[in-house]
Structure 1
Amino acid sequence: MPNSIYALILAGGSGERFWPLSRRARPKQLLRLVADKTLLEETLARLEGFVSPERILILTNSEQENAVRKLLGNFRKENIVAEPAKRDTAAAVALGTGWVASRDHAAIMAVLPADHVIANRTAFQETLALAAEAAEETSGLVTIGIKPSWACPGFGYIEQGKPVHLRKHPDDDSIHRVLRFREKPNPDLAESFLRRGNFRWNAGMFVWSVPTVLREFNRYAPELADFISQVRAPENFEKALRERFSKMPRISFDYAIMEKADRVFVVEASFDWDDIGSWRGVANYFEKDKQGNAANRSITALDSSNNIVFEEDGTTIALLGVHDLIVVRTPDALLICHRHEAERIKDLIGKIPPELQ
């Protein structure tokens, strides 16, 4: 594994599907959904012993900055940076690239979302190490792909090509050229992807060297490349962040770079992965009674089945004669909806008073 590896943690997402537990100032990555730690804390814990804390940059936004700093009270204050405006992942990666380049212009860097559930830390670090070696040897952009367990229409997909064998791992078939990225498919197309066997879920985790990603920014996103050249000078970082970031194009890194680049590789994850994108996903981690009711705490249920219940304030929840509902109780809000409407919770946010959003 390369000696100099940095990590950029993207921690500025909104997680609107988890309202009312999630809010603008307390998004999904700051919630304790499936463990005693928040998803952001779990993300940091997975890097322990693999990336030293001074080489980790956490990017959040101005609405969430205070909550992140309070949560991570012992983390290096200067390694938490708040984006002054929402500009999607291309600008965030550009900012992080400049930060890393100012410290080591030849470093390997990993880009990791802050809101995933990954069970096996050792397997995660082994996959990252392999991806880092692939990035160094191929001078390419490397993404980590998840082998699909079912035909999910809610994820983007990566179409794999021929395997690539590294010098140190000549018998390892887990690295492939990427033929193309595929948008979220309809259910029939997702079934086709699953049958064909050479598709992986796109989990939004990347590894590359600073020179490689700079090459691609210069080729496909010169405006962002110019921004990187400004923020990589330590004395200009704060000024460029304040004055230039909000002027950057609002586009994802996938669209800006990954789907255009011609040297892209995928490493298959050797760990279990879940992005828990809705309350239905979280329910998989709750205890269930014989009627399929899933709850984070003890509930009372009579003639009720397949409900999902989450409460955080000690309120007693009792269900009578109801089925397939989501019930989420916080000190100041209550959500009740059909479990099959879980994906539409984000559509409800705009109708809720601003102070509760």
Structure 2
Amino acid sequence: MSTANPHLWTVILAGGVGSRFWPVSTPARPKQLLPLASEQPLIRDTVDRIVPLVPADRLRILTGGQLSGALLSVLPELGGEHLLLEPRAAGTGPVLAWAAAELERLDPDAVMVSLHADHVIHPPEAFRALIARAAELAVGHRRLFTIGAPPTRAETGYGYIRLGAPLDGLAGDDHPEPGNAVAEFVEKPDRETAEEYLASGRFLWNTGLFVWRCADMLDQLQAHAPEFRELVPMLRRGESEEFFRLAPTISIDEALLERSDRSGVVRATFAWDDVGAWDAVSRTRPADERGNVLLGDAHAVECDNTVLYADEGPVVGFGVENLVVVRTGGVTFVAHRDRSPDLKRMLQQLPDHLRDLR
């Protein structure tokens, strides 16, 4: 499979802090370096999942300079040439444009697969097969493709994609997945709207997994994103420092995909989860018969649906339900599971010495 498309490249977004996994995820040890989905760090799982399709020499990791050593320590087969170190955090719009320009310079026919370091995907074989199919469609249709996951619950924390018309088949192609045009990108809905989306069958979760020709992405960005009209030529000339000085902080969805008439979507044939907050651990790690997830030296007695994380000494839960209890780095954190997506807001109310744990 790895030789199927010699122009296929992978970039992995691995620069975030993962503040919704505080206090375990910190600027020095963000969640992509933590074993939150398996016994390995999330970034290790992500690399292992894609390299049978795209070899390591065509892989680049987008991150900040402060994480380069830690990432290479868990990915010893990679070297510094595999890292693209962001001059500043500017959102996925600028950083993916920069990555596309860097790959285009190496390979004018490059097709970029953009992954996140914190996703859980099973089975990996189905994932690789669909990525290969999306690459065929990206080349054949000259569209910018998103992978859309069929929703399994009324999730209010994800963006959604409303399916447009099926695309015309590629010449000589009888593959069962033709891809669809995107009718609409929808921001995170309220509960009632999410339930309507789930029942309709016309909406997919926006996974943030992208496949496109680098040249097409940059051309579309220049054509449809006024903020980047003068900046894309700068990128293509290799003036990345000046580009990041001038680029706005914006997501690729807002900057390009919601504006372009060339956005497409392919339906995921694998189970997908965004490990975004502590409540996600109950979906990604094995639970006991009462729904408790125990990590480290953790023990649940007469507990239900509780996450116990022990990174520093034992943690014991007794007679509680629907909690997250974490012990690490001299800090004990307790929250209701339903509140774990709100941790960013909580952190803003903490003193600096807690908010900026190292």
TM over 0.5: yes
Displacement of 1:202 in angstroms is: 0.2
Displacement of 1:225 in angstroms is: 5.5
- CA deviations 1:260-298 (Å, max 9, x no partner) are 100111111111111122111102344444443321245
Alignment pair present for 1:295 and 2:294: yes
What is the correspondence of 1:307-318 to structure 2 with a 5 Å cutoff? 307-313=306-312, 315-318=313-316
Give, as a single letter, the amino acid of the residue that structure 2 aligns with 1:305.
D
Give, as a single letter, the amino acid of the residue that structure 2 aligns with 1:304.
C
Residue of structure 1 aligned with 2:70, choices 54, 67, 71: 67
TM-score (norm 1): 0.91
Change (3 A) 1:278 1:52: same
- CA deviations 1:295-340 (Å, max 9, x no partner) are 1245444443332101123x12222343322111113322111222
Give distance in 2, aligned partners of 1:125 and 1:54.
17
What is the correspondence of 1:232-311 to structure 2 with a 5 Å cutoff? 232-233=236-237, 236=238, 240-297=239-296, 299-311=298-310
Give distance in 2, aligned partners of 1:297 and 1:69.
24
Change (3 A) 1:39 1:226: farther
Give, as a single letter, the amino acid of the residue that structure 2 aligns with 1:210.
C
- CA deviations 1:221-255 (Å, max 9, x no partner) are 3653654444445xx4xxx3334313211111000
Q: Secondary structure at the match of 1:78?
A: helix
Change (3 A) 1:288 1:298: farther
Residue of structure 2 aligned with 1:101, choices 104, 122, 145: 104
Give distance in 1, aligned partners of 2:163 and 2:48.
30
Q: Which sections of structure 1, spanning at least 5 residues, go unmatched?
A: none
Specify the alignment match of 2:325 in structure 1. Answer: 327
> What RMSD over aligned residues (CA atoms) do the two structures have, in Å?
2.0
Alignment pair present for 1:193 and 2:193: no
Residue of structure 2 aligned with 1:166, choices 166, 170, 178: 170
Change (3 A) 1:69 1:297: closer
Give distance in 1, aligned partners of 2:186 and 2:54.
31
Give distance in 1, aligned partners of 2:180 and 2:356.
48
Q: Secondary structure at the match of 1:154?
A: coil
What is the correspondence of 1:1-357 to structure 2 with a 5 Å cutoff? 2-164=5-167, 165-170=169-174, 172-173=176-177, 175-221=179-225, 224=228, 226-233=230-237, 236=238, 240-297=239-296, 299-313=298-312, 315-350=313-348, 351-352=350-351, 353=353, 354-356=355-357
Give, as a single letter, the amino acid of the residue that structure 2 aligns with 1:161.
G
Give distance in 1, aligned partners of 2:117 and 2:230.
27
TM-score (norm 2): 0.91
Change (3 A) 1:32 1:172: same
Maintained 8 Å contact 2:145/2:266: yes
Displacement of 1:89 in angstroms is: 0.5
Give distance in 2, aligned partners of 1:171 and 1:248.
40
Q: Which sections of structure 2, spanning at least 5 residues, go unmatched?
A: none
Displacement of 1:215 in angstroms is: 1.7
Change (3 A) 1:171 1:316: closer
Give distance in 2, aligned partners of 1:301 and 1:122.
35
- Percent identical across equivalent pairs? 34
Maintained 8 Å contact 2:19/2:25: yes
Maintained 8 Å contact 1:100/1:232: no
Change (3 A) 1:170 1:66: same
Change (3 A) 1:300 1:145: closer
